Structure 1
């Protein structure tokens, strides 16, 4: 089996699973309980939190059910808490739906949202960002790495633009943390992380906070400092802390990315969608006149697993909003697929992938096998 869909989800590290199982067996008590078992669970929870604060370089960590909830908390929490200061938010047309959909809802509630354009490589124009900034702009929310084509937003430059203003910066780092560094001198005010993108577990995420006033979007028992009510999963907290401790950039990803770019350059009808300089673990391509679903299905028959775009929306049969935003030529739009590497990817998978791709390509194109 060749698994190249790590941007959709990753296989959990054995050490992460071991941490989760041990914590589930030993620290199963509710960390809010007053008895000894509850106190022991709380101690492990707070130990995980402190580790994450140190690893990420943030003052506060709020555990969530994943990246979607963390993004919603960042956007809606900041909006509600700061609406007296302003109701204007800036984001980008290629953000993840867990950012774009909450923004649509906030617009219905009287907030104003400006979405930045992108060029053919998915990059924003910093001059446009400067022009969109206003005295009543309370938040700029931009992802570190685009999940579909790998474009990297210049977070440090954006941080410098916002320096000296009252505008907060939120970064969805789901595809970046553990793979690309953040400038320690230009850290955002809020940061979203998801465990299952880092060889951790699903339903495990966090919102890291440095400087931001937020209101909760879930109400109940007041856990997580009142920002995220609901019994906290201590095993999940310990597991995501372990996953982030284990995470580190894989130097081979850059080499493999270049190897595949060179390989695809040999096909006249293949367009490499991911820009040069994109995150090395993501590579999107498009074949003229071929549907992405056909490619995915054909490769699956070879026991090779890739995706058409974002796994969150790849089954809805619609053209990706990212592909539309970058203005990919019409003949390529339906034929986009994404390959993404993880910490467990091996070079032999890249080599074998190329062989299987040629076979499937010839079948789809009706080219006789040699």
Structure 2
């Protein structure tokens, strides 16, 4: 049987950690109750949900009751953006976001435009960072929400959340951040960073797919949201639907493990990333996408001139599993909107690789992948 390719697509998803699986298993068969039920089975499940809610909240310096469980970050983003728009439209209909956001933010914003809202899509600097002065100048009296992601899913760039949050606080504007890629990898603090809404997911940090959360601030100020799912009034009326304890417990365990070893793991991944980049730097005419240092520890996104991007991925498939951009838009034939926002040409945007290093990536993996990429690029350039 052929050996599986090395997995370097951790921004797409991650394998569930065995310790997470072990934490989840009893809640499928032993503690299987509905958390809303008023009997022993329900109480057991409810206790596990409450403990998990507190674990996730602690990881971002929030209160347990401020965590609203969703099916993932996409739903959390939709609830945040549409929920604020519906609840606050009497205060204004202007929203600010960035051109490099995930489609789970951009698409809800485009939907709101069809309903009469005005959305400003900020360009970014060539390193992928939002220009704070441009952001400030884009604020209007009718601005109700600014949504800027914590860490980009393609180029790994970390946006200056505290500075953006302070700006929102000064202008009495709600601040939402999509932290799906950031949670468990870089420190997050909703109080210190003045964040009002934060979207999270489990499957980017070795937890199960199909579970996420939205942090919704309750004090100073209390954020109001219009529910997008109705029926039962679960999650303080913001998101109806029976809670799924196995996923919630797995989510919390994944967050607990990731935050406990965040510093050590970050240092290890930065070392591996540097090792990979040193291999790629043997090649002429390559372009690093995004800020070199202000990025996720396990992210490297590079464009290669003079090669066909699709051919490059096909040649590398037997050796390494990676992508050229967001997995959510992998079937699209258009060049990455993130790389285009950085000013990359169509050719460079197509001929880009996103390396997502993770918990199970080793030095040996990096040596194999680095050598394979260099060899493949050189071969394709001679054809």
Q: TM-score range by the shorter chain?
A: over 0.9
Look up the SS of the partner of 1:146 in the other structure: coil
1:164: which partner in 2? 170
Asked if 1:224 is matched to 2:235, the reply is: yes
With 175-184 and 344-353 compared, the bigger mean Cα shift is at 175-184
Q: Distance in 2 between matches of 1:329 and 1:186?
A: 35
2:201: which partner in 1? 194
Look up the SS of the partner of 1:197 in the other structure: coil
Q: Distance in 1 between matches of 2:118 and 2:361?
A: 43
Asked if 1:242 is matched to 2:259, the reply is: no
2:223: which partner in 1? 212
Q: Distance in 2 between matches of 1:111 and 1:245?
A: 39
Q: Distance in 1 between matches of 2:95 and 2:31?
A: 41
Q: Distance in 2 between matches of 1:10 and 1:268?
A: 32
1:288: which partner in 2? 305
Query: Any conservation in 1 of the 2:335–2:346 contact (CA below 8 Å)?
Result: no
Asked if 1:43 is matched to 2:24, the reply is: no
Q: Distance in 1 between matches of 2:254 and 2:312?
A: 32
Asked if 1:120 is matched to 2:126, the reply is: yes
What do residues 272-312 of structure 1 show as CA deviations (whole Å, max 9, x unaligned)? 2232122221111111132322222211122x111011111
Query: Any conservation in 1 of the 2:166–2:194 contact (CA below 8 Å)?
Result: no
What do residues 211-257 of structure 1 show as CA deviations (whole Å, max 9, x unaligned)? 41111001111111111111111111111000000004321111122
Runs of 5+ in structure 2 lacking a partner? none
Look up the SS of the partner of 1:357 in the other structure: helix
Query: Any conservation in 2 of the 1:264–1:272 contact (CA below 8 Å)?
Result: no
1:20: which partner in 2? 24
What do residues 145-183 of structure 1 show as CA deviations (whole Å, max 9, x unaligned)? 111111111001111212233201111111111111125
Runs of 5+ in structure 1 lacking a partner? none
1:137: which partner in 2? 143
With 313-322 and 234-243 compared, the bigger mean Cα shift is at 313-322
With 46-55 and 192-201 compared, the bigger mean Cα shift is at 46-55
2:157 is aligned, of 138, 147, 151, to: 151
What do residues 43-88 of structure 1 show as CA deviations (whole Å, max 9, x unaligned)? 2111211222222212310111001000001101111111111111
Q: What is the TM-score with the length of structure 2 in the denominator?
A: 0.92
Q: Distance in 1 between matches of 2:227 and 2:50?
A: 20
1:297: which partner in 2? 314
Asked if 1:315 is matched to 2:322, the reply is: no
Look up the SS of the partner of 1:90 in the other structure: strand
2:80 is aligned, of 60, 71, 74, to: 74
Query: Any conservation in 2 of the 1:120–1:328 contact (CA below 8 Å)?
Result: no
Query: Any conservation in 1 of the 2:280–2:370 contact (CA below 8 Å)?
Result: no
Look up the SS of the partner of 1:105 in the other structure: helix
Look up the SS of the partner of 1:44 in the other structure: helix
1:266: which partner in 2? 282
Q: Distance in 2 between matches of 1:32 and 1:275?
A: 46
What do residues 121-145 of structure 1 show as CA deviations (whole Å, max 9, x unaligned)? 1111111111111222111100011
Q: Distance in 2 between matches of 1:90 and 1:274?
A: 21
Query: Any conservation in 2 of the 1:200–1:240 contact (CA below 8 Å)?
Result: yes
Count of matched residue positions in the alignment of Structure 1 and Structure 2: 366
Query: Any conservation in 1 of the 2:94–2:119 contact (CA below 8 Å)?
Result: yes
**Cα distance, 1:330 vs structure 2:** 4.1
Asked if 1:6 is matched to 2:10, the reply is: yes
With 10-19 and 34-43 compared, the bigger mean Cα shift is at 34-43
Alpha carbons of structure 1 residues 84 and 126: separation in structure 2 relative to 1, 3 Å: same
Look up the SS of the partner of 1:62 in the other structure: strand
Q: Distance in 2 between matches of 1:330 and 1:28?
A: 51
Look up the SS of the partner of 2:68 in the other structure: strand
Q: Distance in 1 between matches of 2:188 and 2:54?
A: 19
Q: Distance in 1 between matches of 2:345 and 2:300?
A: 18
